[in-house]
Structure 1
């Protein structure tokens, strides 16, 4: 077997691993790796995978809560076979639970390339989701093999989440997570040509909190010129004002017995601070009267519209449009109600409160009831939460980008996930394994089943092809969106391009700007 791939980055030499490409078994719907016995004969055509590459120094000690600092160089060859450690995680179901360690080399990325010896390949930089408080690039859901096998250089990034990345602290920059992502993009600009990629052909992509990150990068001065195109699936509308963020930090500091400053909280162990974010998240209903929509969201640490790192909400601050592929799923809120055991059982009072907090004032609650006559309380609650959290922000980003001179391509995923009798519907996150082709990942199996049906396999191939086409040419394969025609690709067992399908939602929210969460 030939030697493992070695690449010289600007910081030093790294040794990755050869990995077989993935082929699609259309009969079973399962991604199958090439047999190991064939590997030695076809090594030159395998993918080269480099993991745990440091794009910034560990943000601990004197660098705790600081803006990321470029990594130091090294002598010799550094092994790049293992993922970097998981960033401290928060939330009821944090990624990497049970994997807490004292290794603080959190700011790492991974590169999967079809050929490190070539040049000019399109690059896709993936920013994971996780509610701004969890997530990791090592998640099998983000296996880049199928996309890289189709010709992309795929970069997946770890960044600070929860309090480490988003808590507003005196003496520290705001939105450090976004600064981490900018640092990763700068690393890509410096190094990706050495892995076969074109630094002028970078597409930044993400889903959920990752899509919110992409939206933020579109309006950040620090990110200008670092990418050419953007993909944003299920853009969240969760931002908060500095006043609200300061109160959240004060409550967080109380939980750990420290002052709400960077200097004081730097003395708190990172994983203890992460657990405090989880505790505060569980207690958010107690702050409903004061914190309003933030308390209802269940996420304590969200991006802050600070006026510097994040100059404004993306829907109002976007002035230079790009080529943008953006969309949402039909049933965005469904997995949150199913996994909490509440699907179909929300009360009229809970629906009333959700409409009061999330529907556009003052007539939004009545407008939802009029638009969905006969809807149950659960259906109303899911509709308004799907809209406020993801569907409307995604639509508005398409509109804002087009208004800023960019080209937007809009989609809605309408395919019902087959597991458990279809209870998940076309749910939040369903698009991720479809796009990556990671149908056999543990999380995907929860909603797709162990053997996804043929229509799932076909749609996965369609969406993955759209990503590859978009990253390569700027065109995913359907007409661009404009405010008049509102052409939208509805991804389903039989996909079609139609006028934006959620017209009731569009009418209800017309004329109502998306605003940052604030104190009530």
Structure 2
């Protein structure tokens, strides 16, 4: 299968573009002053909502207050409260900010890519240097990234508060983009959201949410987790966290505690999560107690049934994953997995309706440790992504699928997050060369694969097609990124067969005893 189209990624601003060392742009709330860094204008720390403090702490976001004069926008805003960034009592927590990178601040009408970071719905900040938008913007797009509430304040089920507050923050940032991005050289009618891991889970939800309708045209979902919670499950988890503080999960009671106290209570529950497996189900064995809540209101349905029902028919979708998604999380890596341990893992995670013979039958050459990693990989990331593509095809509109199979070292493989580093161009080539198990020529290959992926992402954002055959459940055309990317049927056929009849949907309590 051959490429449909490719873009020249050397962006050339118009000859009369005005380049001022410290450019100023008027937004709906006031004027911001950024700076040019090489060929990209950068504006950091722009408020898109008021600080989530006081009565706004567990509420839906409120648009930023206007300001007089010129606001410097050269430093990232503070991170939202999280384990490595607990605000002091004196902090105003003006943390709901976003950042803009643009190669042309004129009326360029460039495609806009809005990035939503991952971090287990627990952590993450747009100041992460691995998520810098300069290289992608220099290729010919306006890139926007944001901070949004995480942890208890963003995703806990709190009585008296709207659910999915972190995603409501994302929607507020997307509204800001619609109102302001043209002034930064972007086209508000050509916005693509893209995100990885928990950010991909948020996007899988956003494409179906009524509140997000009309705010973007395309979506790129990289490593979507298969975890979306029922109100019952999320309420029990939130109640367990609140109980660590001797409280109930209500706005009035949780407001008495500092962000640090809520973070510490969350950490205490995370250490005990495996103890809850009989009631929380496989959720208790994941690295996080939070996921989007399918409450029938803010989020009416889980992404798979919603997409299959046509909820995102008008949104172009690019979805995929890396080959070795679970390698970085694998607690058994380097240890021997017994057959009994593997049986327990298969009972917890493998689909109950599997008629293919299962992992042992279809992967006869694999050790128990390899199958342990495979089933976790498939349940948490690979099969949710593939089934998302199937659901999108069923519901209408076009979808494209990819898998990253390239890696630069034998220890980590094609690991979780590697695709994002390649797209953004933030993979450190010195680290690639110096890794003790690096493959020969890995650094040169990294540059080559990164260029291909970045070209495809930007082509998709610009034209609505990434340049290869769309996915359908019969041919399963997939862009496979190796040292020389190709388009071929989905590579993980054995896992696909095992999960063929499984229905991904909302996770609920196993029992309530």
Give the TM-score normalised by the residue count of structure 1: 0.89
- The reply on whether 1:298 has 2:287 as its aligned counterpart is yes
- The reply on whether 1:351 has 2:342 as its aligned counterpart is yes
- The reply on whether 1:57 has 2:54 as its aligned counterpart is no
Aligned match of 2:144: 155
Distance 1:342 1:146, change over 3 A: same
- The reply on whether 1:170 has 2:159 as its aligned counterpart is yes
Return 5+ residue gaps in structure 2 as ranges.
1-18
Contact 2:121–2:151 (CA under 8 A) maintained in structure 1: yes
Residue 406 of structure 1 and its aligned partner are, at CA, apart by: 1.5
What is the alpha-carbon distance in structure 2 between the residues aligned to residue 298 and residue 291 of structure 1? Answer: 13
1:37-436 matches, within 5 Å, as 46-90=39-83, 97=84, 100-101=87-88, 102-318=91-307, 319=310, 320-321=312-313, 322-337=315-330, 340=331, 342-363=333-354, 367-418=358-409, 422-436=410-424
What is the alpha-carbon distance in structure 1 between the residues aligned to residue 429 and residue 255 of structure 2? Answer: 36
Contact 1:433–1:444 (CA under 8 A) maintained in structure 2: no
Aligned match of 1:464: 454
- The reply on whether 1:7 has 2:25 as its aligned counterpart is yes
Residue 374 of structure 1 and its aligned partner are, at CA, apart by: 3.6
Residue 354 of structure 1 and its aligned partner are, at CA, apart by: 1.8
What is the alpha-carbon distance in structure 2 between the residues aligned to residue 163 and residue 449 of structure 1? Answer: 39
What is the alpha-carbon distance in structure 1 between the residues aligned to residue 498 and residue 279 of structure 2? Answer: 26
Distance 1:460 1:76, change over 3 A: same
What is the alpha-carbon distance in structure 2 between the residues aligned to residue 470 and residue 446 of structure 1? Answer: 33
Distance 1:442 1:293, change over 3 A: farther
What is the alpha-carbon distance in structure 2 between the residues aligned to residue 182 and residue 197 of structure 1? Answer: 18
- The reply on whether 1:507 has 2:497 as its aligned counterpart is yes
**Root mean square deviation of aligned Cα:** 2.1
What is the alpha-carbon distance in structure 1 between the residues aligned to residue 466 and residue 385 of structure 2? Answer: 17
What is the alpha-carbon distance in structure 2 between the residues aligned to residue 435 and residue 492 of structure 1? Answer: 14
Residue 298 of structure 1 and its aligned partner are, at CA, apart by: 2.7
Contact 2:349–2:379 (CA under 8 A) maintained in structure 1: yes
What is the alpha-carbon distance in structure 2 between the residues aligned to residue 446 and residue 265 of structure 1? Answer: 47
Contact 2:50–2:62 (CA under 8 A) maintained in structure 1: yes
Aligned match of 1:36: none
What is the alpha-carbon distance in structure 2 between the residues aligned to residue 353 and residue 50 of structure 1? Answer: 50
Residue 440 of structure 1 and its aligned partner are, at CA, apart by: 2.2
Contact 1:328–1:390 (CA under 8 A) maintained in structure 2: yes
Residue 149 of structure 1 and its aligned partner are, at CA, apart by: 0.6
Matched positions, count: 484
Deviates most, 51-60 or 102-111? 102-111
Structure 1 residue matching 2:52: 3-state secondary structure: coil
Structure 1 residue matching 2:99: 3-state secondary structure: strand
What is the alpha-carbon distance in structure 2 between the residues aligned to residue 351 and residue 191 of structure 1? Answer: 52
Contact 2:231–2:295 (CA under 8 A) maintained in structure 1: yes
Q: Alignment partner for residue 472 of structure 2, among 479, 482, 485?
A: 482
What is the alpha-carbon distance in structure 2 between the residues aligned to residue 424 and residue 2 of structure 1? Answer: 44
Residue 72 of structure 1 and its aligned partner are, at CA, apart by: 1.1
Contact 2:241–2:269 (CA under 8 A) maintained in structure 1: yes
Deviates most, 274-283 or 178-187? 274-283
